[in-house]
Structure 1
Amino acid sequence: MTTITLRQEETDGLPPAARRSAMLTITIAIAVSVLASIIANIALPSMTHELRVTPADSIWVVNAYQLAVVVSLLPLSALGDIAGYKRVYMGGLALFTVASLACGFAESLSALITARVLQGLGSAGIMSVNTALVRFIVPRDQLGRGVASVALVVATSSAAGPTIAAAILSLASWHWLFLFNVPFGVLAFWLAVRALPMTPLSGHRFDWTSAVLNAAAFGLLLIGLDGIGHHDRPTLLATELVLGAIAAVLLVRRQGRLPAPMLPVDLFRSALFSLSVVTSICSYAAQTMMYLAMPFYFAVAGGMSQTHIGLLITPWPAVVMIIAPIAGRLSDRHPAGLLGGIGLAVLCAGLLSMLSLPPDPPVLDVVWRMLLSGAGFGFFQSPNNRALIAGAPRSRSGAASGVISTARLTGQTLGGVVVAIIFDVLAGDVAASAHTALMAGAAFAGIACVVSFLRLTAPKPL
């Protein structure tokens, strides 16, 4: 077995054979980590019944995973800069695989939630450095294509998740939703050992204080925001949000004094990088608003089944699978501000077009609107992620990779909170709530479009 080691100045990536194996391990790992965040939702009713718990308690099977991912993304991306992206990736993949096995054999809710926390930490290890690894795997002039391949896997896994979950549950118990990951995790780990390069190390020390502050800030703020939509007690919400804000302030102040901060305030000094993050958060918020609002509209106002609704929404991720590689290739030659601005304008138009849908629309009327929205989102996604990873020095690729995932999760959380508030304020009128949420989504897409075009005038990083 040969270990490939890259020097900092090397920019041509891996040889073709090693490149294919390296991209395959990343493809497999991203796919199973995305599926792990989706397929558990489908089985919550079965888990509730078999484990003899309340539906509210079973929700923690999902929340524990998401929370573990969010609080550990930036610390693990910083660790990737320090210890090497391959080590963090393989450690995360190994933990994810073992935790999936533990989830599959869990016989109580507490055991399942504990295993899901570990699975989330492992998934964060994968997601925190996958884009950074792509930067060292593919040649510099093909970076857009490499980033696009990651977006393609995410879109494909998201689209296939409910179908895969339904197929597994039709043949076996919910335990196999987790055991399903194990052979793929083993295969990805074997490929990673053989193909992934050892990347340069930053030489900095890991800052445990920043890691604790990061976990407190992101964890408490996201729990507090989520609690707004679930009508948690006002005193509890205030405590969570205030403590989270204090932790965030302390974190930012500490990061300004560090040479390689965990929260990459050094990267945010670049206007191009900061605008790309804002664009990403707003676009994912817009996508989430549609994903949450339209199923309620079709189910309650139109009386559609879950299967019918799933088929109607599928064109969105399906067209992303087609558009993302094309946009990735274009991003190697054209600025992300232009490509992203065009894509987000199309996304905004697509969301606005959904406002004219009746409760029980003809299939084609929904499909073309979903295709339009998905095409716009896919045209934005790859160029934007390329801009984020390319906007950081190579020694800070891990930090940039962590920001990409953190921005996505922040946008999704923000979108979910906005939809929950809208449905709460307009309680009893599903059609009005869905239309308002779509208008809010279109507004976020419009803001993202303007911000994306502003990148064309932003100074390029040195």
Structure 2
Amino acid sequence: MQPYQGLPRPQRTWAILTVFCGLVMAVLDGSIANIALPSISRELHADPARTIWVVNAYQLTVTVCLLPLSSLGDILGYKRVYRVGLATFLAGSVLCALSVNLPMLVAARVLQGVGGAGIMSVNTALIRFIYPPTKLGRGIGLNALVVGVTIAVGPSLGALILAIGSWPWLFAVNIPVAIFALAISRGALPETPAQPREFDYPSAALSAVVFGLFILGVDGLGHAPLRLAGASGLVLAVVLGWLLVRRQHGKPAPLVPVDLFASRAFTLAVGTSFCSFMTQMLAFVALPFYLEYQLGRSLQETGLLITPWPLMVAVMAAVSGRLSDRYPASILAGAGLVMLTAGLIGLAVLGKDASSFDIAWRMALCGLGFGFFQSPNNRAMIGATPRERSGGASGAQATTRLLGQTTGTAVVALLFSLDRSGAARLALYVAATVAFAGAVISLSRLRDGRPAASSSAAAEPDA
């Protein structure tokens, strides 16, 4: 049989546009609501502390639903799960825009989260069927570029929408995009082979409990009154997680993809990914405090000085994606994380007399390193798995990202609760340490004795 060559043009262009539309909405709605929390609190007459659940409900729902929905993608086909995810996200967006009280808005955000998980759980799996193996890195690089740009412009876009309209418009803007993506997805997205088998409902419920307890437990550690409850939740999550893994062993295509961790390349790519996203969130949460309180910058200056990081991620993501089709992911990702480590240490040692240029080029170095890491590592993670398990790999990739970000946020909160005065600078040193650990994990892949990126393309099984 001929090797799989992906979709023909122009179907490939329309398919990737559909995927990117869904991805932009799912990523944007994970952060854009933050800026509207004060407005939501005022207009819905809600306690400000309770309005945080407008953000938490979405993030928690996405995380607990990723692996079950990626498993459904393997069973039913990735196109079907993606389109249902789009439709669910559309319904959730309509309900968010029409919400008249906080409970209704939070419930609508949960529905949005289910849709967002449907989109993100099979996003990378679809890219694997859209592009031929020799251009998989390019597709994943473009995917990372879209995520980077969305994250970079998210706060500014949210502020612009709120400047000309009220908070419901933050959700209403999704409606035409989702309708457009749904309309073109029917004929554009590839039909992927379904694998008829029973969906593991008990494991899906147990995985939701495990990840929910983990996220709430990690978050609780950062708040002194909740620290004991958070630690208890983490212990229970570990115990139930162990039971969940035992339940998955021996199954041909488990809901929690423990079978994929038999691949050393996949395992090391997951470890590298967790370290990198934990690093990114440690830095992103700590940097505003560091720039304002330690270096004496204004709120406006802080926003501008952080901008080089996500911009460089967006620029480098596509470049490193193309490079990952030719060079080993272990070297590219490892070199990127070494650059990220150097940038973070450079930021941490700055004094109050540091110029804006001193700060900006270090931010750019961090973004350059993170962008250089992301696409090659994602390509290695996907390329190390059989095509029929692309859904499990895609779900694992998205889950690792969210767990890393959650852990990074919690560590910063914990550091602030222990030592408020020096916590921001210390968080940057911790971030640099985690990034260096990720670099070591990535470079350890060189012991396999073969280029992880180029061989994965050659090893793609026929369609």
Q: Same fold (TM over 0.5)?
A: yes
AA at the equivalent of 1:149:
L
Partner secondary structure for residue 122 of structure 1: helix
Does 267-276 or 307-316 show the bigger shift? 307-316
AA at the equivalent of 2:424:
A
Q: Distance in 2 between matches of 1:417 and 1:407?
A: 15
Aligned partner (choices 304, 317, 323) of residue 316 of structure 2: 323
User: Is the 1:89–1:125 Cα contact (8 Å) retained in structure 2?
Assistant: yes
Aligned partner (choices 328, 346, 349) of residue 342 of structure 2: 349
TM-score when normalising by structure 1: 0.95
Query: Do structure 1's residue 184 and structure 2's residue 177 form an aligned pair?
Result: yes
AA at the equivalent of 1:202:
Q
Aligned partner (choices 340, 351, 369) of residue 362 of structure 2: 369
Aligned to 1:104: 97
AA at the equivalent of 1:438:
L
User: Is the 2:221–2:228 Cα contact (8 Å) retained in structure 1?
Assistant: no
Q: Distance in 2 between matches of 1:425 and 1:247?
A: 29
User: Is the 1:286–1:445 Cα contact (8 Å) retained in structure 2?
Assistant: yes
TM-superposed deviation, 1:390: 0.8
Q: Distance in 2 between matches of 1:451 and 1:382?
A: 16
Aligned to 1:91: 84
Partner secondary structure for residue 233 of structure 1: helix
The structure-2 alpha-carbon separation of the partners of 1:360 and 1:419, relative to structure 1 and needing over 3 Å to count, comes to farther
Q: Distance in 2 between matches of 1:407 and 1:227?
A: 20
TM-superposed deviation, 1:209: 0.8
Aligned partner (choices 405, 416, 426) of residue 412 of structure 1: 405
The structure-2 alpha-carbon separation of the partners of 1:445 and 1:234, relative to structure 1 and needing over 3 Å to count, comes to closer
AA at the equivalent of 2:423:
S
Q: Distance in 2 between matches of 1:199 and 1:408?
A: 25
Alignment of 1:111-150 (within 5 A): 111-150=104-143
AA at the equivalent of 2:343:
G
Alignment of 1:373-452 (within 5 A): 373-427=366-420, 429=421, 432-452=422-442
Query: Do structure 1's residue 34 and structure 2's residue 27 form an aligned pair?
Result: yes
User: Is the 2:223–2:414 Cα contact (8 Å) retained in structure 1?
Assistant: no
The structure-2 alpha-carbon separation of the partners of 1:234 and 1:167, relative to structure 1 and needing over 3 Å to count, comes to closer
Does 346-355 or 302-311 show the bigger shift? 302-311
Query: Do structure 1's residue 271 and structure 2's residue 264 form an aligned pair?
Result: yes
Query: Do structure 1's residue 170 and structure 2's residue 163 form an aligned pair?
Result: yes
Partner secondary structure for residue 351 of structure 2: coil
AA at the equivalent of 1:433:
A
Query: Do structure 1's residue 60 and structure 2's residue 68 form an aligned pair?
Result: no
The structure-2 alpha-carbon separation of the partners of 1:360 and 1:63, relative to structure 1 and needing over 3 Å to count, comes to farther
User: Is the 1:213–1:250 Cα contact (8 Å) retained in structure 2?
Assistant: no
TM-superposed deviation, 1:43: 0.5
State the identity %.
50
Aligned to 1:230: 223
User: Is the 1:97–1:185 Cα contact (8 Å) retained in structure 2?
Assistant: yes
Aligned partner (choices 66, 70, 86) of residue 63 of structure 2: 70
User: Is the 2:89–2:111 Cα contact (8 Å) retained in structure 1?
Assistant: yes
TM-superposed deviation, 1:257: 2.8
TM-superposed deviation, 1:190: 1.1
TM-superposed deviation, 1:361: 3.6
RMSD (Å), alpha carbons: 1.5
TM-score when normalising by structure 2: 0.95
Q: Distance in 1 between matches of 2:294 and 2:322?
A: 41
AA at the equivalent of 1:78:
S
The structure-2 alpha-carbon separation of the partners of 1:202 and 1:9, relative to structure 1 and needing over 3 Å to count, comes to farther
AA at the equivalent of 1:211:
A
Aligned to 1:293: 286
The answer for unaligned runs of 5 or more in structure 2 is none
Q: Distance in 1 between matches of 2:133 and 2:383?
A: 9
Q: Distance in 1 between matches of 2:341 and 2:185?
A: 39
TM-superposed deviation, 1:203: 2.5
The answer for unaligned runs of 5 or more in structure 1 is 1-7
Aligned to 2:191: 198
User: Is the 1:66–1:120 Cα contact (8 Å) retained in structure 2?
Assistant: yes
For these two proteins, the number of residue pairs brought into alignment is 452
Aligned to 1:453: 443
Regions of 4+ moved over 4 Å = 459-462
Q: Distance in 1 between matches of 2:419 and 2:224?
A: 15
Query: Do structure 1's residue 280 and structure 2's residue 292 form an aligned pair?
Result: no
Partner secondary structure for residue 43 of structure 1: helix
TM-superposed deviation, 1:237: 2.4
* Per-residue Cα deviation, 1:281-336 (whole angstroms, up to 9, x for no partner): 00111111110111012223344343321211111110111111111111011111
Q: Distance in 2 between matches of 1:410 and 1:133?
A: 22
Q: Distance in 2 between matches of 1:77 and 1:307?
A: 40
TM-superposed deviation, 1:444: 0.5
AA at the equivalent of 1:292:
V
User: Is the 1:104–1:178 Cα contact (8 Å) retained in structure 2?
Assistant: yes
